[in-house]
């Protein structure tokens, strides 16, 4: 019974293409996140949505556009992919954005740009 | 800017040993600190969450402590098992940052038979 799921698990694409990664959580949480883990395994937040509203937008190129159609889904669309976009992208969720709640992570999407 | 460092970067211990992983952060104005484990090729699993008002949290063989004033947290693993082998990450949430987590650099743990 998957709590936070992402599709696809692996994505290989060429430079210049546009791609999307989807995330769904069945925990009834209000807040969802996108994180990027680079080749050195360093994890950094990209975006956060609370009940479909953007609340965190880190310094991320505007080629990255998150979309939350409802509070159970947060998708990430990437335009004009570059080699440096190769990384593992993790989706996460928490009950809301208050400090008292743990974040639960999805299994990750490994994006390789060639 | 909050920086989170974990020492050591890698650790190998024989099964059965007790061990301590360290996490230090530069800005003590935190809401909470969370410990995660990451298995190779997998997502993160939350282990323990310590609120800023708490000193420690325990779950089974795991005990995490928090000393805000010195900017440190430790994760104590008792009677280590091969299944504990993973990368352990700590992450802090600063006050006023609406649930934004800043992650540490991770400690890669190997428990050998």
- In this model, does residue A7 exceed pLDDT 70? yes
The terminus-to-terminus CA distance of chain B in angstroms comes to 41
pLDDT of amino acid A44: 92
pLDDT of amino acid A1: 62
User: Distance between CA A35 and CA B89 in Å, rounded?
Assistant: 14
pLDDT of amino acid B29: 85
User: Distance between CA B41 and CA B68 in Å, rounded?
Assistant: 32
- By the CB < 8 Å criterion, does B3 face chain A? no
Q: Do residue B98 and residue A55 have CB atoms under 8 angstroms apart?
A: yes
Q: Best mutation site among A3, A5, A6, A43 for testing chain B: the one with the most B CBs within 10 Å?
A: A43
- In this model, does residue B96 exceed pLDDT 70? no
Asked whether B73 and B58 are in contact (CB, 8 A), the reply is no
Q: Which two tokens stand for residue B32?
A: 């909470």
pLDDT of amino acid A18: 97
Residue with tokens 């708490």: B54
Q: Do residue B99 and residue A108 have CB atoms under 8 angstroms apart?
A: no
- In this model, does residue A11 exceed pLDDT 90? yes
pLDDT digits (tens, 9 = 90+) for A36-86: 999 888 899 999 998 888 888 887 889 999 999 999 999 999 999 999 999
- In this model, does residue B97 exceed pLDDT 70? no
Exposed / middle / buried, residue A29 (Cβ in 10 Å: 0-12, 13-18, 19+): buried
Q: Between residues A32 and A98, which one has the greater pLDDT?
A: A32
Task: Report residue A99's pLDDT band, with 50, 70 and 90 as the boundaries.
Answer: low
- In this model, does residue B28 exceed pLDDT 90? no
Q: Quote the minimal CA–CA distance from B107 to chain A in Å.
A: 11
- SS3 label, residue B11: strand
Q: Quote the minimal CA–CA distance from A109 to chain B in Å.
A: 9
pLDDT of amino acid B1: 79
User: Distance between CA B50 and CA A32 in Å, rounded?
Assistant: 21
pLDDT of amino acid B98: 63
Q: Do residue B106 and residue A99 have CB atoms under 8 angstroms apart?
A: no
Q: Which residue among A96, A98, A105 places its CB closest to the CB of B43?
A: A105
pLDDT of amino acid A96: 84
User: Distance between CA B33 and CA B29 in Å, rounded?
Assistant: 11
- In this model, does residue A16 exceed pLDDT 90? yes
Cα dihedral angle (A65, A69, A70, A76), rounded to 10 degrees? -30
pLDDT of amino acid A13: 97
- Report the candidate in A84, A37, A110, A49 with the shortest Cα–Cα distance to residue B104: A37
Q: Between residues A35 and A59, which one has the greater pLDDT?
A: A35
pLDDT digits (tens, 9 = 90+) for B37-94: 999 888 899 999 998 899 999 999 999 999 999 999 999 999 999 999 999 999 998 7
Going by C-beta distance under 8 Å and a sequence separation of 6 or more, which residues neighbour residue B35? B23, B46, B47, B48, B49, B62, B64, B73, B75, B88, B89, B90, B91
Cis peptide before B74 (omega within 30 of 0): no
């Amino acid at each position: 019974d998957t709590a936070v799921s992402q599709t696809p698990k692996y994505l290989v694409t060429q430079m210049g293409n546009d791609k999307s990664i989807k995330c769904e959580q069945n925990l009834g949480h209000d807040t969802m996140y996108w994180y990027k883990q680079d080749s050195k395994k360093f994890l950094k937040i990209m975006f956060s949505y609370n009940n479909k509203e953007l609340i965190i937008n880190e310094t991320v190129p505007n080629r990255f556009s998150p979309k939350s159609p409802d509070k159970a889904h947060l998708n990430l669309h990437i335009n004009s992919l570059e080699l440096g976009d190769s990384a593992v992208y993790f989706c996460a969720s928490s009950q809301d954005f208050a400090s008292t709640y743990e974040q639960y992570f999805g299994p990750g999407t490994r994006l390789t740009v060639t | 800017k909050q920086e989170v460092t974990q020492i050591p970067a890698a650790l190998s211990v024989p099964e059965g040993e007790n061990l301590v992983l360290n996490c230090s952060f530069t800005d003590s104005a935190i809401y909470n600190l969370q410990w995660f484990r990451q298995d190779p090729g997998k997502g993160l699993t939350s282990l323990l969450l310590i609120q800023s008002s708490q000193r420690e949290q325990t779950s089974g063989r795991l005990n995490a402590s928090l000393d805000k004033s010195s900017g440190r947290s430790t994760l104590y693993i008792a009677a280590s098992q091969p299944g504990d082998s993973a990368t352990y990450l700590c992450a802090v949430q600063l006050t006023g940052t609406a649930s934004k987590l800043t992650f540490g650099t991770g400690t890669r743990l190997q428990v050998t038979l």
